[in-house]
Amino acid sequence: MSSRLLRFLTPAGLGAVAALGQAPFDFPAVMLVAMAAAFFLWAKISNSREGAAFGFAFGFGYFAVCLHWIVSPFLVDAARHGWMAPFAVVLMAAGGALFWTAAFWAARRLGRGIDWLIVTLPAIEFLRAYIFTGFPWGAPAQATVNSILGQGLSVFGPHGMNIVLVTLAVVIARSAQRWGYWSVLVAVGISSLLMVPVMRSDALLTGTVLRLVQPNAPQAEKWDPDKIGIFYARQLAFTAAEPDPALGAPDAVVWPETAIPWNLTHAQPILAEISAAAAGKPVLLGVQRTEGERYFNTLVLLGGGGQVTQLYDKHHLVPFGEYMPLGDFLARFGIYGLAPQHGAGFSSGPGAALMDLGPLGRFLPLICYEAVFAHDVNAAPARPDFIIHATNDAWFGTHAGPQQHLAQARMRAIEQGLPVARAANTGISAMIDPYGRLTNSLGLGQAGYIDAALPQARMPTFYSRTGDWAALVLLLAIAGVLRFRGRLRALAQ
């Protein structure tokens, strides 16, 4: 094996091991130790170009494993899009790796040790959450959601937790530099923070009961004319089912994203039928709607009789999925998004907004991919009483994708100190308390519903008040300390 290939495979292998911290593997301690091992090896590289190449290989291995589910959307219509699947994995892994390349390159340019990674890697993850519409999926902080350390999300947010994790990995790597094999004790002690689960005490509940409906319509069958009636009837039956005697009748019903195949313009008889199945209780459901020549991915709130009383249009769309950049131009060459509505796809809504359930409270609606963005949730015009996440995770496959998406919904609950009610087409539907714990859930690939009492919200968290500013200030402070320390060392020499 050539030395050049070995120089790629070693960090790539460590990156792949680090990805085991993410769902569905959920070994965050392994992730931390793998990151520390990578930092230890990288510290021996003095050339910034070689250091950047190491960062690319490490990032490529990490994102290739973490985002391997990305093939799933392309296999829904394999005849049209299947050929793209292998390219999607490689390109997504390479795209994420380029960000990490910049972080490792910058850290080597700024100093000789590994301490600057505490600044550059979280900073580049911050950039990844925003640039080109953002894609923070798979951030290291996502791996903390099951541990007591993950409760720090309520204070630091995702970017602050990235700083914490990288700092811990740097501490382990530096201990290995100084103490050799004795550093194993340091690694065990620090990584144990990621193995302590959140206490399983009972959540404090409100008197509000929500019914979350999960029809389990596989994406390849969801729009099949021979199947749409089956899935619709299934949701009607779940909506009209007898309530849990211990909870009583649900106060509202939630259907998932694009729960019905008919455009809102032509769906009034259907909406009246849905409202009747819910005995006149409010129903929130996903639907597509048109406004002139524009298409929207929408959540509508139904009152008695099926009248649409409020609606919310998804504003953070999936690039190349729900819309195509330069879509009308690319359509001339037969290139479309995975869920196109003519050339350019869906249009964006105006932004984050609250919907009002009267005495039940106000909630922030999130449609699918919008739950990935902590800053979008923080952009709500006022603090809601709870969050409703309606999603169609059938696009994400049947394994890692939906479980990672659920982990991100749990992060939003912790960050905001708010309960999250999640209705997912193929799962995982769940009621999530403000500590990110599932109080009730329905697994992947199951058709059914759950009646769940809404947990009580916490007081507004530090992160919900400050957003990402605290993490930015912390990054600047650490950078200032490292720069000052570097100058002192230079003067001492």
Active site residues: 257, 314, 368
Structure tokens at 421: 């009610």
Handedness of CA 16, 72, 254, 441 (dihedral sign): negative
Question: How far is it, in rounded angstroms, from Cα 161 to Cα 155?
Answer: 9
Identify the helix (H) or strand (E) that includes residue 325.
Answer: none
Question: How far is it, in rounded angstroms, from Cα 124 to Cα 218?
Answer: 36
Q: Are 312 and 299 in contact (CB under 8 A)?
A: yes
Structure tokens at 4: 């050049």
Among residues 244, 291, 239, 241, the alpha carbon closest in space to that of 260 is found at 239
Among residues 305, 426, 420, the alpha carbon closest in space to that of 371 is found at 420
Q: Are 447 and 214 in contact (CB under 8 A)?
A: yes
Q: What are the start-end ranges of the E strands in 173-330?
A: 205-214, 252-254, 283-291, 294-302, 308-313
Among residues 327, 382, 325, the alpha carbon closest in space to that of 356 is found at 382
CB crowding 344-379: b at 16 or more within 10 Å, else e: bbbbbbeebbbbebeebeebbbbbbbbbbbbbbbbe
Among residues 412, 431, 411, the alpha carbon closest in space to that of 421 is found at 431
Q: Are 31 and 14 in contact (CB under 8 A)?
A: no
The H-assigned helical ranges of 201-250 are 219-222, 228-240
Burial class (CB in 10 A: 0-12, 13-18, 19+), 4: exposed
Among residues 143, 111, 139, 112, the alpha carbon closest in space to that of 124 is found at 139
3 state DSSP class of 177: helix
